[in-house]
Structure 1
Amino acid sequence: MDTQLKEKILLGEIDLDFSRQEHIEFLKEVYSLYNSAVKVYNKIYDYYKGKTDAIQTYKFVTDRSNLKINLNYIKKFIKEEVSYSVGKELAYESTEGNTNFIKDINYTLSHWESNHNSDLMKYLLMFSEVYELYYLDSKADFCSKIIKPTQGFALKDEFGNVIVFIHCFETKITNKKFIDVYTKNKIYRFNENFVPVKEPIKNIFGEVPVSCGQLSYEKEFDTIYNDIKGLQDAFETNLSDIANEISDFRNAFLVFCNAKLEKDDTKKMKEKGIIILPGDKSKAEWLIKNINDSFIQNTINTYEDKIYQIACHINANEKMQSNTSSLALRARLNAMENKCSLNQNAHKDIIKNRIRFICKFLKTKGKDYDPKDISIKYTANIPQDDLMIAQILAQVPEGTISKETARSQFSFIANSLVEAERVAKEQKEEIDKHPDLPGGGEDE
């Protein structure tokens, strides 16, 4: 393919048109980039599912115990960070106080699955990269689909703008492979041989309808998988070896010295539980393998400790002193909280772009909003001392903190704006019940 044509496509000087063969050739090169990356991401996904190298390549010993012990720390840590970061519902706030905008956002997303944001975070932490694809369903509702990097690939220019996005999938019944291609103007569908299978559809958004989430510039090299893969393999291998050593103790050998044993004698010994030795120098004893349990336990403890250290997690099963303060307990979470803050920042970038596409969708409904007006609030999913917060707010001079900000500090209030409307409604109902009483003023 002509290098000059590639440069023009990458610079946005030429729009992609897959009715032209040279643009099909460009698409094939994009697909090859996807294929080269998908091998790495498939390996990461295998580890999340527990298909580790230690389990897959564990050496089989004939006529011996061959137990395989799987300890999936990668899944455990990812689920902990997801639960901590987005376990509670996201809240939207308008810097201009535009309550209608927030209501429209919540209404637009009301039909989405409840675990959509948590799944988005899960794949972001798993692969350090994830895509969120936007489309309109048969009811003309704004919808989204999470695309893992094992299923899709976005080609970007040097400024991070998406030029083309491909989504590769296979139908369950026919097992046919298809490639959906998204450009800023149209949406195409090809088979695995890049032959169009239906007419292209107009893209109503005017740009490639996808948000690209990225945890860091290092991508797959900045994942829990990359950090602890070797430790987890070593842990599983050694633990499996120990389990098999214990199981093989059933195959103990009885050693006879200076004694002759006939075949029928073994049966009599088992039945009567008695051994008669022929002379003073004869003896019988079990042949036992000497296992250094302290060395084994120290090795296992070292593996486990290093896994927790590198992942910036704490072992909740460790024994704590009964008089440990809440501040000391919270301090143990400091490394994990800092890590989850970075995770939330990467997740927030996806949500910001989602709101931008929601604004494009709402504009078709005659509603014009500025996506920059919305700020996203994350609430950590940990026990919170609401009594202490109430005491602090009670001592703050009036006029220092708005009521909306004060409400948002409590863990049991998911949406401070909705809560303010409920309070105002209750106050109005009380005033209507007692018209003779003086009004108490409006709740801000």
Structure 2
Amino acid sequence: MATQDLLEQCLKAFREQQAKYQVYKNYYEGKHDILKNYKFSESRANMKIVVNWFKKFLHDELAYSLNNPVNYIDKTGNGKYIDRIDTDFSTWEKVHNHKLMLKASTFGHAYELRYLKDGVFSAGVLTPLNTFVLEGNDVDKTVQLAMHFYKENQFSDKEKVDVYLPNKIVQHYEVEEGDKLKNLGHSEHAFLTVPVKVVEANLERISMLDDLKPLIDSYNETLSNMVNELSDFRMALLKLVGTKFEGEDDVALMIKQGVIQLNTGSDVDYIIKNLPDQFANSTLKEIKENIYKQASQIDTNEKMQSNTSGSALQGRLITLTNKCATIHTMLEQCIKSRLKDYFYFLNVSDGIVYDYRFIKQKFTMNVPTDILMLADAFSKLKDGFALTTLYSLFPFVENPQMEYKKFLKEREDMMGNEEDLDAIKVDDPVA
């Protein structure tokens, strides 16, 4: 059991963590610094423009990385465990993986909580804004405890805490005034280890925003200044030479009629700004290019030559592909840990003993696929590779093992129909 002093130290560290990571949530939601820091000008336009590059890049990366489901392959060739995984995971895993890596990429890391729902293994997503994890100083950074903070319900300000410990222990607390913890008792979870695992966006646990924030702020301010300059341009001053209006009624009458009468030698003109649009546009373009470079992204709206080769297109995607491969690597580590807890649960509930390390994960990038090329490769490689391995190459195949079974079943049905037709004699009456 965790001591009260240790938990209150963790609570203090959690409050500091919340303040640190709130900025990531704000920028994802479009609440950028310019909304409160933009310099106000009296009697001038003060529009604040926010371009949410951070959110756009996160969604683009995840759509590219995880829109295709994860394929599971059993190294031993035993398909029954793959079928069991598909049965228990298919209703929640794809959305869960997407949400998990979205939060991990937003904050630099996130957390996965494993639990049982109606006796079935499941998992949820937690973030540094609602969870504190105490890791050990060992090489593996073993999770020693995890504190999940939440409101009692949507109409209550009462804050509750679930403290997850090893050996199936969950302590329950209520946060009182002054951040004091009131013990509400304890219950059990289903696992021997702490069921909350750290999921990293990269090895450094760094968010994309750490590199992009200064550039995003510069882009927002530059664009806001340009828009406000254009807005102020409509406030051009009327210049009168050799004449003057006698009163405000003359100005109103001129605007209404659209006509003005002048004495000989008089002139009317507008005083307008000479905007350095070339300088502003080049600055904006330079900032935008640096944002894309720093984020390892490509501008899909950029016009390309019609004769651009496939190799050149792949070359443009190489940095983004490498970044998405990192997402796959980090998620793969989480899935292996998830499967370890899953097979422990199956061992306890159903007596199933199986090594989770025999299950391999295969990720497929969400890019246009040349099906004819894959079909040609399939026909040439089918004598040298397992068919389930080749099935996993096709992005629309969610479960290669199941797909192969369906193929065998259809062939069996077709052979049975052919035998039935052969058994019918030509002179037999047709019913």
Say yes or no: does 1:153 pair with 2:129: no
2:426 aligned partner: none
1:386 aligned partner: 371
- CA apart distance, 1:346: 0.8
2:160 aligned partner: 178
1:280-306: CA deviation from partner (whole Å, max 9, x where unpaired):
3x4322110110111111111111111
1:218 aligned partner: 204
- CA apart distance, 1:113: 6.2
**Aligned with 2:35 (options 42, 46, 55):** 55
Say yes or no: does 1:299 pair with 2:283: yes
C-alpha contact 2:24 2:107 (8 A) present in aligned 1: yes
Stretch deviating more after TM superposition (106-115 or 409-418): 106-115
1:58, 1:184 → 2: CA distance? 49
2:314, 2:281 → 1: CA distance? 29
What code does the residue aligned with 1:384 have? T
What code does the residue aligned with 1:157 have? G
- CA apart distance, 1:198: 3.0
1:266 aligned partner: 251
2:355 aligned partner: 370
| Matches for 1:86-235 after TM superposition, within 5 Å | 86-112=66-92, 114-137=94-117, 139-159=118-138, 160-171=141-152, 172-185=154-167, 186-193=169-176, 194-196=180-182, 198-219=184-205, 222-235=206-219
- CA apart distance, 1:206: 1.4
What code does the residue aligned with 1:324 have? T
Structural RMSD (CA): 1.9
- The structure-2 alpha-carbon separation of the partners of 1:435 and 1:237, relative to structure 1 and needing over 3 Å to count, comes to same
What code does the residue aligned with 1:218 have? E
1:243, 1:426 → 2: CA distance? 63
C-alpha contact 2:47 2:224 (8 A) present in aligned 1: yes
Q: TM-score, normalised by structure 2?
A: 0.91
Say yes or no: does 1:25 pair with 2:5: yes
- The unaligned stretches of length 5 or more in structure 2 are 423-431
- The unaligned stretches of length 5 or more in structure 1 are 1-16, 439-444
- CA apart distance, 1:135: 1.4
2:183, 2:94 → 1: CA distance? 34
> Aligned residues, how many?
413
- CA apart distance, 1:114: 4.4
1:121, 1:217 → 2: CA distance? 14
Say yes or no: does 1:290 pair with 2:271: no
C-alpha contact 2:71 2:392 (8 A) present in aligned 1: no
C-alpha contact 2:161 2:174 (8 A) present in aligned 1: yes
2:221 aligned partner: 237
1:290, 1:394 → 2: CA distance? 67
Equivalent position SS for 1:189:
strand
2:49 aligned partner: 69
1:338-377: CA deviation from partner (whole Å, max 9, x where unpaired):
1110111011111111111101111122111111111111
| Matches for 1:8-23 after TM superposition, within 5 Å | 17-18=1-2, 23=3
- CA apart distance, 1:217: 4.2
Equivalent position SS for 2:419:
coil
2:323, 2:93 → 1: CA distance? 26
Equivalent position SS for 1:433:
helix
1:125, 1:333 → 2: CA distance? 19
1:107-163: CA deviation from partner (whole Å, max 9, x where unpaired):
2223426411110110111111110001123x2222211001111011111231110
Stretch deviating more after TM superposition (417-426 or 97-106): 97-106
1:44-103: CA deviation from partner (whole Å, max 9, x where unpaired):
110000001012322232332222211100000000111111111111111111211111
2:253, 2:147 → 1: CA distance? 75
2:32, 2:356 → 1: CA distance? 43
Equivalent position SS for 1:435:
helix
1:200-238: CA deviation from partner (whole Å, max 9, x where unpaired):
01233111111211123432xx32111111111111111
1:16-47: CA deviation from partner (whole Å, max 9, x where unpaired):
x25xxxx1001111122222222121111100
1:149, 1:247 → 2: CA distance? 41
What code does the residue aligned with 1:423 have? F
- The structure-2 alpha-carbon separation of the partners of 1:362 and 1:81, relative to structure 1 and needing over 3 Å to count, comes to same
2:358, 2:395 → 1: CA distance? 24
2:36, 2:203 → 1: CA distance? 31
2:203, 2:90 → 1: CA distance? 33
1:252-311: CA deviation from partner (whole Å, max 9, x where unpaired):
11122343331043234334434344453x432211011011111111111111111110
1:195, 1:318 → 2: CA distance? 55
2:425 aligned partner: none
What code does the residue aligned with 1:216 have? N
- CA apart distance, 1:106: 1.6
- CA apart distance, 1:187: 0.2
C-alpha contact 1:55 1:237 (8 A) present in aligned 2: no
Equivalent position SS for 2:185:
coil
- CA apart distance, 1:197: 5.0
Stretch deviating more after TM superposition (210-219 or 307-316): 210-219
Equivalent position SS for 1:164:
strand
